[in-house]
Amino acid sequence: MSMDVKRWFILAAQIIIALAVGFPYMLSIIVGPLNAEKGWAIPTMMLVFTICMWIQSPAMIIFGKLREKWGNRKLIILGGILYGVSVSVSVLFTNVWGFVIIGGGISGFCMFGIFVAQLANVGVLFPDKRGLATGIYYACQSFLFSASCVPLAMLIEKMNVVPAIILIGIIFGVITVVLGIFAVDPPEGYAPKGWTPDEEVTETSVRGPEYNWIGMLKTPIFYLLLLTLIGLMIGGMAMSSNVSLMAQSALGIGATKGAAYGTIFFVGSGIGGIISGLLTDKLGGGKALLALCALSFIFVGIYLTVGQGVSFLFALVVVFVGIGYGGMGTAMAVITMNSWGEKHFGVNMGFVGIAGMISALVGPLVAGAAEVNTTLTVILIVNVMGAVAAFGFIKAYKVFLRKWREEQQIEAE
């Protein structure tokens, strides 16, 4: 089987792995039963998500460094073993803090380590469709998370929560290890049949600069990218952590109907991954992020101005904030690889992930403590910040490439 065909099967395997390593995203389903079974406080258990988000940057940096030595396949297999064990062990403690530290710290660390190896694998397999392939990865991950909620809840109800989570850890660990075997990188310089890299390096090019994290931190586009990502992430994390309660408060509906808005958010996030991937391949990541900020701003603004209490308009807000959140993830990975290269991608993604650490602190805090309209106003403000930073990124990227070409010329001479 040629690599041009095999890469699509590898992408499918990576998507299934992405579902398997999403333990922190399952919290909304398992904390209620764990509270009933063990008496653990729900707010304390929710710290698993906070710790997981805060550990993503160190995890990517450490796994990224290991990736440069071991490659993607070994890293996914090792991460899968540790991840499966940590999920199963996390519910064996009598104290809630054992669950928080192991479930949030160890499983979260492994999740983001596997995640960065997956994105690196997908990126090098699809130099001709890097944005689209990454977008498909993110989209299917969101759709599968949404679809898995009911089966997971049914399993917990049938088996009881502790044995169910132990079984989930074993199954998901095995899935990750087995499918990780297929995470094969293409030969160096791989080019799919009928595709040749652009002769002139642009923002959409895949054969451009190579920078380690020290070199990356010296480039102004890094800081503009962080601000742009924060402009979309804060809204996304506010919604993903509290959208059900926000819907109940804004629309005066019950918990069951409010939960439906969580599904709407993840569907929007999946759609955003595809849209952003297509835009990133065609126009560049900066313009894709600018468009996502603008769309989120428009629909949040319409709701706050004329649509308060209107279910349809609130649903549109949830969809387009979700689109921005899912699209941001796709653009972030592609921009990082296209701008600073494939070799140091994992470590560089770790530093770009600082945007997620900041947003994980601000977004859920605002959503949990403020009224719905206040939360949406904050989202509106950070969207403006993101759009301004994205515009600056587009302009600064041209300067970045010009300086890189000059450096290449000097080295050639």
pLDDT for residue 205: 59
DSSP code per residue over 160-186: -HHHHHHHHHHHHHHHHHHHHTT-PPP
Helices (H), 71-184: 72-90, 96-99, 107-125, 130-159, 161-180
d(CA 73, CA 207): 23
Confidence of residue 238 (pLDDT cuts 50, 70, 90): confident
Condensed to tens digits (0 to 9), the pLDDT of residues 355-386 reads 988 998 888 778 777 788 899 999 999 999 99
d(CA 290, CA 275): 13
- The answer to whether 3-180 and 213-412 have equal CATH topology is yes
- Domain 3-180: CATH superfamily, name plus number: MFS general substrate transporter like domains (1.20.1250.20)
The pair of structure tokens assigned to 56 is: 């993503």
The correct CATH number of 213-412 out of 3.50.50.60, 1.10.10.60, 1.20.1250.20, 3.30.43.10 is 1.20.1250.20
Percentage of residues in the chain having pLDDT higher than 70:
96
Q: Is the dihedral of CA 31, 360, 112, 140 positive or negative?
A: positive
Instruction: Report angle CA 388, 362, 147 to the nearest 5 degrees.
Output: 95
**Per-residue pLDDT at 296 exceeds 90:** yes
Phi, psi of 252 (to 5 degrees): 65, 40
Condensed to tens digits (0 to 9), the pLDDT of residues 323-361 reads 999 999 999 999 999 899 888 999 999 999 999 889 988
d(CA 264, CA 251): 15
Q: Which are the contacts of 306, defined by CB distance < 8 A and separation ≥ 6?
A: 313
d(CA 58, CA 78): 17
Q: Which of 91, 278, 286, 68 is nearest to 185 (CA)?
A: 68
Condensed to tens digits (0 to 9), the pLDDT of residues 180-212 reads 998 888 887 788 888 877 665 566 656 668 899
What does the domain layout of the chain look like in residue ranges?
Answer: 3-180, 213-412
Contact 116, 346 (CB under 8 A): yes
**Residue indicated by tokens 């994290």:** 213
